[in-house]
Structure 1
Amino acid sequence: MRKESKKDEGVLNQYKRINMKNFKNILVIAGVLLVCSCKKFLNEDQKSAYGTDSQLSSERAARALANGAYQNLTGLVAGQNGSYGGNTWNLMEFMTGKANSDLGQTGFVNYQTLNYNSTSFYFDTWWQQMYLGVGAANLAIQKIPTITAADLSATEKTNLLAEARTLRALYYFYLVRMFGAVPEITAPQTDLNALKVTRTPAKQIYDDIIIPDLLFAEQSTLPYKDPTGKVNMATVKALLADVYLTYAGAAINGGPSAYAESAKRSLDVLTKGGYTLFPNYTDMINPANKNSGEFIFQVQFAASIPATNPLTSLTIPNYSGISKYADEYGSVYPTPQFIASYPAGDKRVQEKQFFFTSYPSITTHDTVYFKNHYIYKWFDVNAVTTTAKSDLNYTIYRLADVMLMYAEASNEAEGGPNAAAIGYVNQIRARANLAPIGALGKDAFEQEVWSERYWELCFENKMWFDMVRTRKVRNDVTGIFDNFVGHKTVFGATFTEKQLLFPLPKQETDVNPKLLPNNPGFN
């Protein structure tokens, strides 16, 4: 069970760790490179340490600063301190009402019943991890322009800044979608009192930070692909497409122009990026395919270092005895109603595609049959059967996601689906062994795209954000899209306005009362 600390850390302490001049050696490059999210620079030999007042004079130092902004991407799936099987990734799946759990320790019942509060699981870890990422990105953005080095060209410097600003935009994108108004901090701080700030409206965070950061990165010369897993131009444009699509939606109501901007960026990825759909769904759980094929941007994990992907063990049926893992969590699995919502003949719901219902025992090799469907999207066969260390990456953007973003955004911007949008949807359906769609009106096509996002991107932490931005929820029993407010889950809980934003963690509001009042419905 979770253990509460006697003294809450808060965002001030999180920033203190990264940014204060009073704390020398705050960026220990060797340490950063050991946990940073890009595999090919995990092995670089960096021995120097830098603080906010250090003099930097090499390309290696600039690279290390940029690398530091990646390390908190693992916070998207990180374990909750003091919990058993409680990973941040769980939260966005529990909230949908389309997931169940074998683990009471993860606080699932509070989300099943929608009775969570500001001290519940996950919120504090999400907040801390995203602001740690913001802090590391801010440090890189401040220091890289000051570096004078013969081996660092102006173009290279701009590209490193593009990486850092893209990552800062990504961290803030999570924050505003989850919490709404949040503190706007864009530089390393030298005074703790300066961190006792009020919240800035979400729209202003988009307008001041997220969109400008991505527009800056879009003007860089980053390549459309990077096999090492670093931010590339496709990452920039996919994120910008997602940002504009969300900005156009209910929370900000950015309107048709935002849909058009979203469609423009996603189409750039589709026509210029050179990405292709994997022929088979199981290609996505082959570690040899990391950062290739349809994968645009992933959180990097590796079996050879401590940062192995936790989702493999997290999604194995609880105590099923099918793996080398000491712990098989069964933390998240789909409801029967969600499984039944797939169209007849859909390959995605067939055995060992997106889900599985049986597997050989690790000891007897007899087939073990499960009582439910479980998630197969992070089933690393080698880790399960041999090493207990998953080498799979965690995907933030892949091609199918961008195809569906383009289909939705262009449909809204143009008042109906164009041929390209229909074609992209049909590519996704063809891989699922589904017949192509024909001519559809604007509303019918929109709902087809939303449904495909449910089925294709399920359990990739996309569904909850889609629900909130569209204010619609696909009812797995009726097959229609309910209004978000008033939708009743299969567990009998009903979404209200309160669910549109998560509560700010109590440990943050205790440290900084200027964050209050909390979001509606929370103390």
Structure 2
Amino acid sequence: MKNIVVIVVTLCLVACGDDFLNKTDPATLVASGFYKTEPQARQAVNGVYGQLQGIISSQWLYNEFITDNTTLHFNTGDRGQGPDTEALEFWQVNSGTLNIATLYSSIYLSLVNINTTLSKLPAATFDAALKKQYEGELRFIRAYYYFLLVQYFGEVIIITEPLVTPSEAYAYERQPVDQVYELVLGDLGFAIDALPATYDAASAGRATQGAALTLLGKVQLTRKEYSAAITTLRRVTTLGYSLLTDYADVFDPQHKNHAESIWEIQFQGDNTQGEGSNFIYTFAPLYSDGSVIHFPGQNGGGWNIPSRDMIAAYEPDDLRKDASLKEGYYNQSDVWVPVPFINKYNHPHTIRGVTNDNWPVLRYADVLLMLAEAINEDAKGPTQEAYDYLNAVRDRAGLDDLSGLDEVSFRAAVLHERRVELAFENHRWFDLKRTKTPEALAEFLNAYAAVEKSNPTTDRGGIPYTPGDYQFSPYEVLFPIPANERRINTKLSQNTGYN
């Protein structure tokens, strides 16, 4: 981990140099004295990887919590999170929702560092091949960020050069979705050519050719370019990835960066260097008092709780269920408490609040299921190849092979399989958006909401739902542009349905 994560503020400290009396224009954002040598460039690239930790740690809000997969352990004694965090669960988001503003600004903040480093690499004085690799890594991460942005917000600002003065930011306008995807596709094309298939163990976690190909295939699938997605994703199957035998091992910190892992965000626990994760502290139930997180008196945040609907999605004897979630726990008095929680990121650790779990972003099971989906859509029905990919994932889960399905039922089977295979890994929201029209998605989510409201996953202590809770409209497939961004840049338009 320490090989690829450097606290970003270090870049500023090194760039300032020892001659702190040699002042530059305080309105200028880009320092010119850094990025010249390989260690400096590596430090800058590592800083970009470091920013991924914060972004991925909150992504559950926007990709799981907003869907039918998860809900919350309702906190009857503290309603302070109602207008912000709970707004995502209950589809009460507006342009003033703080978490939406944080999502938007955190991605663009990282893009600043990416664009600055990319602009400096051509003048750097080290090996051209290594410079190309660094450029490939940066452009891969930029493509990933812009894929997130276009999925969350639709039209967005495109920035590919560093800003020299703050006032320049006020001149940008949102660009059409197709132009955003042009940037994504261009960056991924470069990354595929520039990145190696593998690294040595010390560089584990860096973006690879396989990661770039997988993300490209996902983008093509999202754009319904099925033939192109098939060609791209088949390339991934030739790169040596394979499914692990035991599903639980995919998430075990003892098996990081394994044969199934294509790209995972690196965290390092069991020390106080500030690079640990803490997912289970967010996901464990409230009042669990050391029964889930095994430190005396330790409670969880009660967020991202598996819904009853999610629990019921598992087929009988699905081996993935126990590794993915628990339906409750025994408290310190040995009494069963029926509050479910995510178990994928629940592993022993030595320091309270510091876990060693990485976060899987792209893995081989995802590739196989995307291939099955793309082939079914392209061929207007499942071929044997599509069944082979789908059933390989089911076989590991201990489930029977599927056969005899038509195009529509196979499509539904793949979406279901993605839900349980990739549960709580931040795929569900984009899967639903990709496979349903806004109107169909609204109908689907409102049907789920009616059931959840009638029988909530966790007790609400008699507190009723508000009139707007769990009412999803088609326009909400996109998030609003944050109000504070529109105040400082009046050229930014708002998405339909929001003020």
The bucket for the TM-score relative to the shorter chain is 0.7 to 0.9
**Per-residue deviation, residues 15-55 of structure 1 (Å, max 9, x unmatched):** xxxxxxxxxxxxxxxxxxxxxxx542448999842653226
Match of 1:19 in 2: none
Please tell me whether residue 125 in structure 1 is matched to residue 83 in structure 2: no
Deviation at 1:294, TM superposition (A): 1.2
Match of 2:241 in 1: 275
| Distance change >3 Å, CA 458–CA 67, structure 1 → 2 | same
CA–CA distance in 2 between the matches of 1:484 and 1:42?
A: 38
CA–CA distance in 2 between the matches of 1:447 and 1:315?
A: 28
Match of 1:465 in 2: 430
Structure 1 residues 100-499: aligned runs within 5 Å = 100-102=71-73, 103=75, 104-107=79-82, 108-149=85-126, 152=127, 154-196=128-170, 197-207=172-182, 209-224=183-198, 227=201, 228-248=204-224, 258-272=225-239, 274-303=240-269, 304=271, 305-321=273-289, 322=291, 323=293, 324=295, 326-349=298-321, 352-359=322-329, 367=334, 369-382=336-349, 387-471=352-436, 483-487=440-444, 488-492=446-450, 493-499=470-476
CA–CA distance in 1 between the matches of 2:195 and 2:492?
A: 39
**Per-residue deviation, residues 454-495 of structure 1 (Å, max 9, x unmatched):** 11112111101111122169xxxxxxxx92132314333343
CA–CA distance in 2 between the matches of 1:139 and 1:520?
A: 33
CA–CA distance in 2 between the matches of 1:221 and 1:109?
A: 40
- Asked if the contact 2:382/2:405 (under 8 Å) is kept, the reply is yes
Greater relative contact order structure (CA < 8 Å, 6+ sep): 2
CA–CA distance in 2 between the matches of 1:129 and 1:240?
A: 23
- Asked if the contact 2:287/2:300 (under 8 Å) is kept, the reply is yes
1:75 to 54, 68, 74: 54
CA–CA distance in 2 between the matches of 1:483 and 1:166?
A: 32
| Distance change >3 Å, CA 56–CA 520, structure 1 → 2 | closer
- Asked if the contact 1:77/1:310 (under 8 Å) is kept, the reply is no
**Per-residue deviation, residues 499-519 of structure 1 (Å, max 9, x unmatched):** 110011111111111112x11
- Secondary structure in 2 matching 1:211: helix
| Distance change >3 Å, CA 109–CA 220, structure 1 → 2 | closer
Match of 1:61 in 2: 40
- Amino acid across the alignment from 1:284: V
CA–CA distance in 2 between the matches of 1:226 and 1:232?
A: 12
- Amino acid across the alignment from 1:298: E
- Asked if the contact 1:290/1:393 (under 8 Å) is kept, the reply is yes
- Asked if the contact 2:5/2:50 (under 8 Å) is kept, the reply is no
| Distance change >3 Å, CA 55–CA 48, structure 1 → 2 | closer
- Amino acid across the alignment from 1:440: L
Deviation at 1:94, TM superposition (A): 2.3
**Per-residue deviation, residues 408-452 of structure 1 (Å, max 9, x unmatched):** 112222333233321121111112111001243322222111110
| Distance change >3 Å, CA 430–CA 277, structure 1 → 2 | same
- Secondary structure in 1 matching 2:389: helix
Deviation at 1:265, TM superposition (A): 1.9
Count residues in correspondence: 448
TM-score, length-scaled by structure 2: 0.84
- Amino acid across the alignment from 1:333: I
Deviation at 1:145, TM superposition (A): 1.4
Deviation at 1:346, TM superposition (A): 1.8
| Distance change >3 Å, CA 68–CA 415, structure 1 → 2 | same
Q: Percent identity?
A: 30
- Asked if the contact 2:4/2:206 (under 8 Å) is kept, the reply is no
- Asked if the contact 1:314/1:331 (under 8 Å) is kept, the reply is yes
CA RMSD between the two structures: 2.4
Q: Which runs of 5+ in 1 are unaligned?
A: 1-37, 79-86, 249-257, 474-481
- Secondary structure in 2 matching 1:237: helix
